[in-house]
Amino acid sequence: MKFKLLILACLVCVSAAAQTSLGDMTLEEKARCVVGIERSEFPPTNKGFCARTAPFPKYGINSLVLADGSSGVRLSRREQDRATAFPSNMALASSWDTELVQKVGAAAGYEARGYDINVLLAPGMNIIRNPLCGRNFEYYSEDPVITGKMGAAFVDGVQSNGVAVSVKHFTCNNQETNRGHVNTVVGKRALRELYLKGFEICVREASPWTLMTSYNSLDGVPVQESYWLINGILRGEWGFDGLVMTDWSFVPHNTVAQIHAGNDFLTPGSADQVRDIIDGVNKGTLDMADLDRACSKVIQLGTRTWHGGSASAPDLTPGAEMSALAACEGAVLLENNGMLPLAGGKAALFGVRSYDLVAVGSGSAYVVSPHVIQINDAFRSAGISIDTELEDLYRKYVAFASADIAYNEKVKVSIGLPLLPELELRRSLIDKAADRDDYAVITLGRTAEEGIDRGLKGDYYLTDIEKTLISNICEAFHARGKKVAVVLNIAGIIETESWKHLPDAILNVWLPGQEGGAAVCDLLTGAANPSGRLAVTFPADYFDCPSALDFPYDKPEQGRNYDRTEYSEGIYVGYRYYCTKGVRVSYPFGYGLSYTSFDYSALKVRSTCKGISVSFTVTNSGPVSGREAAGVYVSAPSGGLDKPSGELKAFAKTRLLAPGESETVSVEIPASWLASFNEEAGKWQVARGQYVIHVGANVESPRLSAKIKRK
């Protein structure tokens, strides 16, 4: 309450401050106000990595510090400060738990504030359209409702500290290849229902204080110069009242068009842009009213965010606790033939990543954390005996290879790259381990980064060394009646269909953040019960994916999918495609196993003027406590616009249910979310007739269904 009053008071001051300062500011001052200051002008104490706004002390306007925040606060390279590395957004989304994501946002916001940062450049909210996008790990899901709800929860958490977010990258930035110039060609229906919907939910539900426009073009117009997208849709239709900033312009843009379209702050900022603005106003190509709007948004942001100056670095303990919890909640158990939870005995830990975990992704999402808990160390701390001969071998390899020039510490600390390649092991060595150990755990890893998309060979598909490692270890251990688990420590979707039958269990922890090793240990031993569910589909093969050919999978350097990418699959992205067209997948959207089981009962659906109310009861029918994630999917009446076989319209996660315990889940589906965008009519339309509501996490296996009529 107190905080809300403070914000209200700030808002009143904002408009007053904005009015007074604007009236007094010269053209040059206004131009400098809306362009970031050059890095050489940053004060030596600067903690944020990315950008600052210009200060105007005579008007009481402070400089604002902007820092990246996709996996936690990314601090200046000059500082030795550390911040908590949280699980990637893909992992957070797999928790299906918006309360958790709100708390992660609050923990990240608290650290940002403690480091005097005003704007955290997160969350990434682009739709996961294709498995190979280099930034998928920074995004939540192939589904806009999960994306929007997760984004809104994160925004709410960060902003509860008085720190602004920057929801990014608005919009259709679904590939990194030629991201600065690629022209994405997207039908209006797919644009509205998928690529804008998540942003819309977040803007309407959480009122982010800033948003970042993407580098790419949409239908021939650079998004950063699109008046229709920024002023028309974002501000006009959705009522966004915050500041719009550009993504970090490494490509020349039309400054005047960017401001006119609705950008209020140009990043990272250059003297040329200041000059362009002044010239634009003087020559009459830029309206003073546009510049005033932009300037007042910068001033407004300053009064919305917290200022103070922290005496000391923030306490990172709460962040570590939240990161550990989130790593467990976001992990998805993909296979388990009875091996897990582990029954005890000595572990053979294989794979470089068992000793050198990929905690966070690379690029602007990279966070230098105070520590990264390794899987081998976590096993030892939990009192589990591990094969020390294997440990010695891998440790030596990591130390030796890390000393290599290509892997020097400076590079690793700034961007987390490159990853050490997997180690090839002789069969005799594996056989000896299988003789002396009780079970094996193989950890496989992948990272990814902005500016480059993932490749097929050796990234989406396992490398030959990885394939041989899995098959040799499975053969050796199975021959002795011993089991094998694979842990996936990955930055995105990989191929699993061809090898998933080999091990006895597969646990996917994604990029789990700094506490990842402990989470793996807790989940494998049953100290935590996996409750994550996929918020993306794992196709059986890359080429089953609807956008397979309309994506730069073959690394073009010009032409198709480089200069121009057509989203020819329309609205049939992810499960909307696989389910509707009956394409078999490796793991469907919503899939995930648990150490317990859940019964669903008492589905009630009620049509109201606001939409559809849905309630149902989930009961833990198994032997141990656990949480269930439940999705509510809607199948629309046939006739009228073509519709996917089902679409997620709501979801919820139960509390921890003890064996035999039940929880009644109630969710509301807003009437407007039943609508599809009719391109010809240029408007949203709700189909009349019979809707079917399906309940259950896994999109392919609904647990309960009910019909309901909408007039």
Q: State the residues that interact with ligand BGC by CB under 6 A.
A: 50, 68, 121, 168, 247-248, 364, 450
- Name 218's bridge partners: 184, 221
- Facing residues of 691 across strands? 708
560 three-class SS:
strand
Comparing CB distances to ligand BGC, the nearer of 174 and 635 is 174
Q: Report the C-alpha dihedral over residues 379, 381, 384, 386, rounded to 10 degrees.
A: 60
Task: Give the nearest distance from C-beta 250 to ligand BGC in angstroms.
Answer: 7
Contact 366, 360 (CB under 8 A): yes
Smallest gap from residue 144 Cβ to ligand BGC (A) = 20
CB of 489: closest distance to ligand BGC in angstroms?
A: 23
* Per-residue DSSP letter, 124: B
Q: What is the CA radius of gyration of the chain?
A: 25
Closest distance between ligand BGC and the C-beta of residue 173, in Å? 8
Is residue 143 among the annotated active site residues?
Answer: no
CA distance 592 to 588: 9
Nearest in space to 229 (alpha carbons), one of 170, 144, 289: 170
CB of 246 to ligand BGC, least distance (A): 10
What's the CA gap between 21 and 555, in Å, rounded?
A: 50
CA separation for the pair 548, 526 (Å, rounded): 38
Closest CB to ligand BGC among 138 and 225? 138
Sequence-separated (6 or more) residues with CB below 8 Å from residue 9: none
CB of 516 to ligand BGC, least distance (A): 23
Instruction: Give the residue from 447, 459, 460, 395 showing the smallest Cα distance to 423.
Output: 395
Helices 144-159, 98-114: crossing angle, 10 deg rounding: 40
Give the active site residue among 97, 143, 156, 247. 247
Coil, helix or strand for 649? strand
Q: From CA 572, how far away is CA 537, in angstroms rounded?
A: 13
Nearer to ligand BGC, 124 or 626 (CB): 124
Tokens 């992948």 sit at which residue? 446
Q: Minimum distance between the CB of residue 129 and ligand BGC, rounded to whole angstroms?
A: 17
The label of the residue with tokens 């030629």 reads 178
Q: CB-based contacts of 640: which residues, under 8 Å, 6+ apart?
A: 685, 687
- What is the C-alpha separation between 81 and 70, in angstroms, rounded? 17
Provide, rounded to whole angstroms, the least separation between the CB of residue 178 and ligand BGC.
13
3-state helix, strand, coil split of the chain in percent (to 5) is: 35, 20, 45
CA torsion sign for 690, 643, 191, 583 is positive
Residue 268, preceding bond cis, omega within 30 degrees?
yes
> Which residues are catalytic, by number?
247
